Structure 1
Amino acid sequence: MRILEIVGICVVALLALLFAIFFRRRLLMLGGGTIRLQVHINTIVPGRGWSPGLGQFVGDELRFHRMFSLAIRPKRVLDRRFLTVEERRLPAGPERLAMPGHWVVLRCRTADSEIEIAMADTTVTGFLSWLEAGPPRDPGSLRGRPVFGPRPIEG
């Protein structure tokens, strides 16, 4: 009888954990302005290290929350005032297994680092519109923001 109690407690704990993860996801999506995306977190092995999550647009920030996490705070915050898109490409090699086929990888540069994000091709249009809709910059403060619209992808 003792083994059944332990198994029952483990099952209830697992169900509670799954409920908490999905409840957190629903809370993040409540306010609107959320997209599914993946961020290249780990670059040790080429083509691997993608982390799925939700992107939440809040003012001038894109906040990345990991999909399978209980954290309330975002894992990464991208400020559109310092964000530029440098390259757009299709997933290659092992990346094709980590994300759906209609997704696009964007190589972006922030004020202090470089980051790769992946999202659905249809979401890229909205993301680029949000990026372009930012307030104008002081012409002498930073280099220009090369944001490009949808274009055919060579592959």
Structure 2
Amino acid sequence: MNEAVFAFIALAGIFLLVVITLCLFGVRRMMLRRALGTVDASICSANHRWAMGVCRYRESGLEWLRLFSLSPLPSKTMARSKISLLGRREPTEQELTRVPPGTVIVALSYNGEEVLLAMKFDAYAGLSSWLEAGPHTGVGTWR
């Protein structure tokens, strides 16, 4: 075999890996969106960069998963009992270019640190209801 055949096989292999990876991203995204209790939400990291992802409600907490990842594990997990809703606001001029259009910025307090999520208003209403419906601190509760 000559060098052209090896080059073709290598390029075809790389192309096949790219196509399979894109298909896996699509399947993961579809599975996340089909699951109950998931909403699209971007999160602001410590260096003020926004990352797109999906929030998933669980009985005991809120999980945030990166949109562009193949990992089934959440990137951030917050215990429901330690989350406090600080409020919501409209995105600033700088944030308008970094978050999806039509979103509100939701400020949460988790373990004393502020967590910013960008989500649609309907998702914010669901998040605030989910937090308010959680068990209250007291004798015999898990909080």
TM-score scaled by length of structure 1: 0.79
Q: Deviations over 1:56-110 (max 9, x none)?
A: 1111311101000111210011222111121311111331112223101111111
Residues 1:13 and 2:2 are matched in the alignment: no
Q: 1: distance between equivalents of 2:112 and 2:85? A: 14
The residue type paired with residue 61 of structure 2 is E
Alpha-carbon separation, structure 2, partners of 1:78 and 1:38: 15
1:6-155 alignment, distance < 5 Å: 6-43=10-47, 48-138=48-138
Gaps of 5+ in 1: 140-155
Structure 2 residue matching 1:81: 3-state secondary structure:
helix
CA separation of 1:4 and 1:94: change in aligned 2, threshold 3 A: farther
SS at match of 1:69: coil
1:3 maps to a residue whose letter is: A
Letter in 1 for 2:80: R
Identity over aligned residues, as a percent?
24
Choose 1 or 2 for highest CA Rg: 2
* Aligned-partner residue type, residue 137 of structure 2: R
Aligned length: 135
* C-alpha spacing 1:6/1:42, structure 2 compared with 1 (3 Å): farther
Give the counterpart letter for 1:10 in structure 2.
Answer: I
TM-score (norm 2): 0.85
The answer to which structure has the higher helix fraction is 2
How many Å apart are 1:136 and its aligned residue?
Answer: 1.2
Residues 37 and 118 of structure 1 are in contact (CA less than 8 Å); yes or no, is this contact kept in structure 2?
yes
| Mapped partners of 1:58, 1:87: distance in 2 | 21
Shift of residue 2 of structure 1? 2.5
Unaligned runs of 5+ in 2: none
